[in-house]
């Protein structure tokens, strides 16, 4: 085949410009493209525990930001109880909507359909193996039609969990790599990260909505606000100014905290997956292939990008801004997994 590419692993001839070998799926791009820095050996148990602690701390900060904003808005109008009550009611409404319909909406948006027992037998077998290793009930397994390589988990609790993977991922990953990906998603299920994601998203949305309501009332109904504060105390004016400042900054701060939580949960799921498979290099190899072959998914959007194994909309590298990343840099994730492999050896 003139001008074709010969696979260095199996010797198969492939078309010019091929990224993966058609037979063994070995990437043609040298793995040196991803050049992780030397790292100390890392215990996946220690890594998992550390990231859980950090994500919980960040989640508490997000709750504090939400109720702090509600309290300041209440004081601006002369009633702390009113502000806290409004915040609680708003959160309850948004949380109940996400709780009862969040998973089905995500699956529908991305065109995920239930896996066929015959066509997707290897996938179902791997999920069966990994759910036993993780000590979880069998999740519902779905497939998304896409040449990109990606996966996500959804569900309020392990008994209602769903794992969805793309057809591109099934076609290009070998069994050990697929085990690593499935173990990662089951780690999210076991750690209730799907619930964390729902709660964090609801808090971010509630903060944005609460801020918007307060700013609209302050600037579009100024007369009423002045009437309330004219007979009040000077302290109310100070709280009004503080409320305006927080309403402007809180949505951005909440979004940054949500991204930080997402990054910590991804690191934790990587570490937990290494524990389930006892083979950190399987997931590391899968991430290398995904970084070379693309992570696009059907129906990709900003509202669900943090749910996926790799962000389908944006590639995060070591030079990317950490504050604006929904995922850790893939290079660093691979580096940590290889460090865990060294620790096991």
Provide the annotated active-site residues: 185
Which three-class secondary structure state does DSSP give residue 6?
A: strand
Please name which of 105, 83, 122, 146 lies closest in space to residue 298, comparing C-alpha atoms. 146
Report yes or no: 44 and 342 within 8 Å, Cβ to Cβ.
no
Report yes or no: 242 and 214 within 8 Å, Cβ to Cβ.
no
Between helix 193-220 and helix 80-109 the angle, nearest 10°, is 130
Report yes or no: 188 and 153 within 8 Å, Cβ to Cβ.
yes
Structure tokens at 126: 């791997």
Please name which of 181, 186, 187, 183 lies closest in space to residue 165, comparing C-alpha atoms. 181
Report yes or no: 313 and 246 within 8 Å, Cβ to Cβ.
no
Report yes or no: 234 and 299 within 8 Å, Cβ to Cβ.
no
Residues 6 or more apart whose Cβ sits within 8 Å of residue 124: 115, 117, 141
Strand-pairing partners, residue 13, are 6
Report yes or no: 328 and 267 within 8 Å, Cβ to Cβ.
yes
Using CA atoms of 248, 251, 257, 263 in order, give the dihedral in degrees to the nearest 10.
Answer: -130
Report yes or no: 277 and 179 within 8 Å, Cβ to Cβ.
yes
């Amino acid at each position: 085949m003139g001008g074709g590419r010969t696979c260095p692993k199996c010797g198969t001839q492939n078309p010019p410009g091929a990224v993966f070998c058609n037979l063994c799926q070995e990437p043609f791009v040298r793995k040196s493209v991803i050049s992780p820095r030397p790292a100390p050996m890392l215990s996946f148990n220690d890594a998992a525990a550390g990231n859980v602690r950090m994500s919980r701390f960040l989640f508490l900060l997000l709750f504090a930001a939400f109720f702090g904003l509600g309290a300041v808005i209440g004081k601006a109008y002369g009633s702390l109880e009113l502000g806290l009550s409004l915040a609680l009611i708003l959160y309850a409404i948004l949380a109940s909507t996400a709780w009862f319909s969040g998973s089905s909406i995500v699956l529908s948006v991305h065109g995920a359909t239930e896996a066929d027992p015959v066509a997707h037998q290897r996938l179902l077998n791997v999920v069966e193996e990994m759910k036993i290793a993780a000590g979880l009930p069998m999740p519902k397994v779905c497939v998304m039609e896409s040449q990109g390589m990606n996966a996500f988990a959804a569900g309020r609790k392990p008994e209602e969990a769903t794992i969805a993977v793309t057809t591109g991922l099934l076609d290009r990953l070998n069994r050990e790599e697929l085990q690593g990906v499935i173990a990662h998603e089951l780690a999210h299920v076991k750690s209730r990260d799907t619930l964390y994601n729902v709660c964090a998203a609801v808090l971010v949305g509630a903060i944005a909505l609460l801020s918007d309501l307060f700013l609209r009332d302050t600037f579009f109904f100024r007369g009423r606000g002045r009437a309330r504060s004219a007979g009040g105390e000077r302290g109310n004016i100070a709280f009004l100014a503080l409320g305006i400042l927080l309403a402007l900054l809180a949505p951005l701060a909440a979004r940054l905290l949500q991204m930080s939580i997402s990054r910590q949960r991804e690191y934790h799921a990587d570490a937990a997956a290494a524990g389930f498979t006892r083979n950190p290099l399987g997931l590391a190899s899968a991430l290398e292939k995904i970084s070379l072959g693309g992570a696009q998914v059907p129906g990709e959007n900003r509202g669900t990008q943090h749910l996926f194994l790799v962000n389908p909309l944006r590639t995060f590298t070591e030079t990317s801004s950490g504050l604006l990343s929904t995922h850790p840099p893939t290079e660093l994730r691979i580096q940590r997994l290889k460090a865990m492999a060294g620790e096991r050896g």
